[in-house]
Amino acid sequence: MQKRKLGKRGLEVSALGLGCMGMSQSYGVPPDKHAMISLIRTAVERGVTFFDTAEIYGPYTNEELVGEALAAVRAQVVIATKFGIGRDAGGQQMQDSRPERIKQSVEGSLKRLRTDVLDLYYQHRVDPNVPIEDVAGTVTDLIRQGKVKHFGMSEAGVRTIRRAHAVQPVTAVQSEYSLWWRRPEDELLPTLEELGIGFVPFSPLGKGFLTGTIDEKTTFVSSDFRNIVPRFTPEARKSNLALVDVLRTIANRNKATPAQTALAWLLARKPWIVPIPGTTKLARLDENIAAAAIELSAEDLRAIESAASRIAIQGARYPEHLEKRTGL
């Protein structure tokens, strides 16, 4: 697989990474751990070098899974993980990026990931109670100590990114981005290009919707996160299938799938964009990886843009209480 560079500090990764969250949570009952270890190792064999996890995924069990899967090939891969989301006494998630908490988090992540250095360490969500300069300064200390190589931010607003970048250069920003969530184009992408920061889109397939395998009749198990997402109500899904139809039309031209077309569209946006589609299935892994070899023509890209501009996507991407935690 081709490589891409994130930021200006020499971080090179495969053009597509692998988001590992769904192997431990959010999309129903987590699959068998050993099957997921095998899947991650297969991804390495297929050329994927970029793996995304977080302390809160599981919590903790996803880092353990990724660490076990990649231990034997640690020198060949880039592992990204995240700090800054914890749980309160009632088990509810909360932002916590106090310097002392970051220092605790890094030690736990290093141990669970079976490594002595984290390649990319994201602040998972901005903590409104901790100045971002204090967060960036703490990561600077961890870099000096050799525990972290690169600083990242997730779902942060452009003003916060600028403030953080002035203290410790940010290598990559991670946020949701796909054909059905394009808000990063307004302010975020121009800012990242100006500052020389890489971009890592999560949910590049719209939490599975852009694969073309979900319609208004699809049901999700009770523990599936999508049950509480406004964009996944049956009514919204029925309306939003118009976007999948656009992808399917272009896919058929290129003997590809809607998912591959959605990923190829992202890769064509900028050379410093590295999507991290997640999956728990080998067939989907192979399908996604094959997208890296698809080059959409200028005509394809114009057709997607023209058709998508006439489609109003229905439903919010998050419930209100989760959307409030983004873009600070």
Q: How far apart are CA 1 and CA 12, in angstroms?
A: 12
Q: How far apart are CA 28 and CA 269, in angstroms?
A: 32
34 residue type, one letter: H
| Residue 122 is a catalytic residue | no
Q: How far apart are CA 239 and CA 180, in angstroms?
A: 12
Q: How far apart are CA 323 and CA 228, in angstroms?
A: 12
Question: Which of 27, 57, 121, 122 is labelled catalytic?
Answer: 57
Cβ-Cβ contacts under 8 Å for 245 (sequence gap 6 or more): none
Number of Cβ atoms within 10 Å of the Cβ of 263? 28
CB 278 within 8 A of CB 247: no
**The two three-digit tokens of residue 243, written as one number:** 């976007």
Q: How far apart are CA 79 and CA 88, in angstroms?
A: 27
Q: How far apart are CA 96 and CA 167, in angstroms?
A: 19
Preceding peptide of 99 cis, ω within 30°: no
Catalytic site positions: 57
